[in-house]
Amino acid sequence: MEEKLAAVVGVIKLLNICHAQYALKAKRNYSIPNNKPSFLFMTKTKINIALLFFLTSFQVFSQEQVDTSQDYKKRVLETVEVNILSSYYSQDGDNAAVTGGKGTEELTDATGTIIVSIPLNDDDVLTIDAGVSAYTSASSSNVGPFDGNNAADPFVASSGASSADTWANFTVSYSHSSDDRNQIWSTNLSISAEYDYFSVGFGGAYSRLFNEKNTELSVHGSAYLDTWNAIYPIELRPFEPTGNGLSNGLFLDNTITGNTNYNPKFIPFENENRNSYTLGLGFSQILHKKVQGSLSLDFIQQQGLLSTPFQRVYFADVADSFIENFQLADAVEQLPDSRFKVAIGGRLNWFLNERFVLRTFYRYYSDNWGITSHTANFELPIKLSDKFTIYPSYRFYHQTAADYFRPFEVAVSTENFYSSDYDLSEYVANQLGLGISYTDIFTKAHIWKFGLKRIDLKFYKYDRDTAFTSSIITAGFNFEVY
């Protein structure tokens, strides 16, 4: 670099010498007034100024070509990090899908997850994510409501085996960053299992940062190859091809009231596979020293058994049959074996000042089942001190009904597709949240080799404009391992 500068300075000096020689010759041949600047002097000045600009621009471009091979490369992850997440969720309502859109939706769920991120070297990180979710549900207990204890009723939980289940998940991810940290590749593999469902998933992602890491473009894809172990409502099982219908012990031990000629429309699902494919694009941009935003676009294709086998449907054109207070199913929900979803979302975060940050999110969703939805979320982290922050939030959600949604006992037996799952109905939901976090970047508190970096505790209340209501409390603990 210094050699190049010296060369340019030398050229300037040489040019000045040549110019001086020329000026001397010119002065001998021309008469130049003393009080006016010589045009030769002006020309010389212009030449020097031009060369000065050239030298300056030369320096700028030269900086782009500085050898960076000896520059410091920060590790992507300095040390092993452990995150422990847990939550307790509860809900209730009056439109249980298991009982055809009328019945208790009472459910509680406890989830625990551990996420371990391990730096393999300066550029690579291995992440292991394992979680268990255990639920108990009065709603799902009514898959088999005739337990002989209380009178079967859609608003009363039974003690059947379907009243509880456990879902377990294991995911391993690997990511690699380029030396300049402008490119990130990642891949993942996951396995999930519960009593009536098994899933294998895999995916990958690529991110590219530009513009001094002010701009990021990303693409990700995933596939889930899942299989149901279909469980049907207990009163339909005798009507499978190998069943004995009304001669089954269920109907001999219990008395059918109403329409005693019970004959449901029931054919077990032949294909119990469900595959889901996702392609996503992402763009993020720093807009200002205190503002950044992002856009996300996801395309999702699902194929296979998209109905839930134990969700009942009652037909308006079929007489009702009962055992005790429980209406026997006329059919199970029938949904198309294909679904295409599109979701586009945007985030805008604004660092208002040292105390307030505004986080916003909006999403528009549409699918080929006729559902469109709008989601808007606002969160306002408020720093009470350098360690404590509170998180008030509000979320609005609206969706239209699926084309195949039928309220309780509105579907007719001549239709091909129908569902009384009120999660596919039209509704508006409002959610309020409040959380608090404790952050200690120096991890003064530690348990053995685990330094506590952050604790999060949040509570959310979610209410639809129907009888459905839910709440969730979540906790997160972030540790660094020495």
Q: Residues 293 to 332: which contact other proteins by CB under 8 A?
A: 293-294, 296-298, 300, 302, 306, 308
Site for other proteins in 370-399 (CB under 8 A): 371, 373, 375, 381, 389, 397, 399
- Is 156 within 8 Å of 150 (Cβ atoms)? yes
Choices 6-14, 86-94, 260-268, 409-417 (CB under 8 A): range interacting with other proteins: 86-94
The yes or no reply on residue 202 touching other proteins (CB under 8 A) is no
- CA torsion, ordered 115, 116, 117, 120, to nearest 10 deg: -150
Phi, psi of 16 (to 5 degrees): -60, -40
Spatial separation of the C-alpha atoms in residues 85 and 417, rounded to whole Å: 39
Which one among 111, 137, 139, 188 touches other proteins, defined by CB under 8 A?
A: 111
DSSP 8-class letter at 151: P
The yes or no reply on residue 113 touching other proteins (CB under 8 A) is yes
- Closest approach of other proteins to the CB of residue 372, in Å: 9
CA-only gyration radius of the chain, Å:
34
**Residues of 94-103 as b/e, b for ≥16 C-beta within 10 angstroms?**
bbbbbbbbbb
- Cβ neighbors of 327 (< 8 A, separation 6 or more) are 99, 100, 154, 314, 320, 321
Site for other proteins in 16-75 (CB under 8 A): none
Provide the CB-side half-sphere exposure for 52 (13 A, CA).
Answer: 6
- Cβ neighbors of 207 (< 8 A, separation 6 or more) are 183, 184, 216, 217, 218, 282
Task: Give the residue with the Cβ less far from other proteins, 58 or 361.
Answer: 361
Pattern of binders to other proteins over 208-227, x per CB under 8 A?
A: ---xxxx-------xxx-x-
- Closest approach of other proteins to the CB of residue 467, in Å: 14
The yes or no reply on residue 199 touching other proteins (CB under 8 A) is yes
The yes or no reply on residue 345 touching other proteins (CB under 8 A) is yes
Spatial separation of the C-alpha atoms in residues 323 and 198, rounded to whole Å: 33
Choices 45-53, 172-180, 259-267, 368-376 (CB under 8 A): range interacting with other proteins: 368-376
- Closest approach of other proteins to the CB of residue 159, in Å: 22
Site for other proteins in 176-195 (CB under 8 A): 190, 192, 194
- Closest approach of other proteins to the CB of residue 89, in Å: 6
The yes or no reply on residue 421 touching other proteins (CB under 8 A) is yes
Spatial separation of the C-alpha atoms in residues 123 and 108, rounded to whole Å: 41
- Is 402 within 8 Å of 417 (Cβ atoms)? no
Choices 27-35, 38-46, 249-257, 366-374 (CB under 8 A): range interacting with other proteins: 366-374
Which one among 23, 85, 114, 126 touches other proteins, defined by CB under 8 A?
A: 85
Site for other proteins in 242-281 (CB under 8 A): 274-276, 278, 280
What's the angle, vertex CA 107, arms to CA 434 and CA 366, rounded to 5? Answer: 70
Q: Could you tell me whether strands 273-288 and 215-228 are parallel, antiparallel, or unpaired per DSSP bridges?
A: antiparallel
The yes or no reply on residue 81 touching other proteins (CB under 8 A) is no
- Closest approach of other proteins to the CB of residue 371, in Å: 5
- Closest approach of other proteins to the CB of residue 404, in Å: 12
